[in-house]
Amino acid sequence: MRGTTRPLRAVRKEAGASVADGPAEAEAAAAAAAAAATTRARIAERAEAFHVEDELLAGLRERSVAEGVVPVAPASAAALTFLAAATRARAVVEIGTGFGLGAVALLRGMPADGLLTSIDPDGERQVRARVACVEAGFAPGRVRMIKGTSRQMLPKLSDAGYDLVVVDGVTTEMPRDLEASLRLLRPGGVVVVDDVLWQGRLADPVRREAVAGALRETVRTVREDERLVPLVLPIAEGLLCAALREPSAP
């Protein structure tokens, strides 16, 4: 909530607490915070357990991990299916194909006549991702694989031509990918950015700061853009969603 916040100690005194400030109070506060953290962790675990993947998605996840590709988390994959269905997204762009886990999740929520455009610099992975989509029961014509980086390929896509854009490519490119994605969205469309709450556990401090800086810039841009209705879903490593407002009447 925005506005001026009051210190926790002041709130407690106003509520009638008679315990004086000191070690005992500090210990009680620490215990309460630990209990709250445990409760939040249990809730998150229950939410994650709600999503049970089928053999196809589980196999794609295992393959990704085995070959060093970070897959979309189960809860995030379920969210992509939900968002594609809720927005009735017929034209979708996915930045970062991987082995097709995200593509299958999106296609499962899209209408039967929907077209998914997936961008990735690794053509071999895209071939395998296409096979995964066919194995999932989708016709080859439902997916358009474009080999190349987001920086190269996004400028070639049509302005205001897409209902949903999923940004899940190179983290340091996220601010640029977000800007391009907003150009691609139709009014009412939704952009989704994966892993925005990622902790950046990298050994290289320079790389770690570059990743953290890109995430901060991405979140700040979405929060401050008045054209957007933003929301962060606290699932997996964080899913940032933003809907593009319809133009206001003159």
Q: What is the pLDDT of residue 7?
A: 42
User: DSSP class of residue 22?
Assistant: S
Q: What is the pLDDT of residue 45?
A: 72
Residue at 250 is within a domain? no
Residue range of the domain that includes 146: 55-244
Please choose, from the candidates 102, 155, 152, 93, the residue with its C-alpha nearest in 3D space to the C-alpha of residue 125: 102
Q: Please, are residues 98 and 64 in contact by the beta-carbon 8 Å criterion?
A: yes
Q: What is the pLDDT of residue 17?
A: 44
Residue at 239 is within a domain? yes
Please choose, from the candidates 68, 64, 98, 92, the residue with its C-alpha nearest in 3D space to the C-alpha of residue 80: 92
Gyration radius from the chain CA atoms: 21
Residue at 44 is within a domain? no
Residue at 46 is within a domain? no
Q: Please, are residues 83 and 164 in contact by the beta-carbon 8 Å criterion?
A: yes
Q: What is the pLDDT of residue 203?
A: 61
When divided into structural domains, the chain yields a total of 1
Please choose, from the candidates 145, 152, 137, 81, the residue with its C-alpha nearest in 3D space to the C-alpha of residue 116: 145
Residue at 38 is within a domain? no
pLDDT truncated to tens, each residue of the chain (250 aa)? Answer: 334 443 434 434 444 444 456 788 888 888 888 887 787 777 767 776 777 889 999 999 999 999 999 899 999 999 999 999 999 999 999 999 999 999 999 999 999 999 999 999 999 999 999 999 999 999 999 999 999 999 999 999 999 999 999 999 999 999 999 999 999 999 999 999 998 888 666 566 777 888 889 999 999 999 999 999 999 999 888 999 999 998 874 4
Q: What is the pLDDT of residue 166?
A: 98
Q: What is the pLDDT of residue 49?
A: 72
Alpha helices per DSSP H over the chain: 8-14, 23-50, 55-66, 74-86, 101-109, 123-135, 150-153, 174-184, 205-224
Residue at 103 is within a domain? yes
How far apart are the C-alpha atoms of 230 and 244, rounded to whole Å?
9
Q: What is the pLDDT of residue 247?
A: 83
Q: What is the pLDDT of residue 19?
A: 44
Residue at 2 is within a domain? no
Residue at 45 is within a domain? no
Q: What is the pLDDT of residue 249?
A: 46
CATH number of 235's domain: 3.40.50.150
Is the pTM higher than 0.85? The answer reads: no
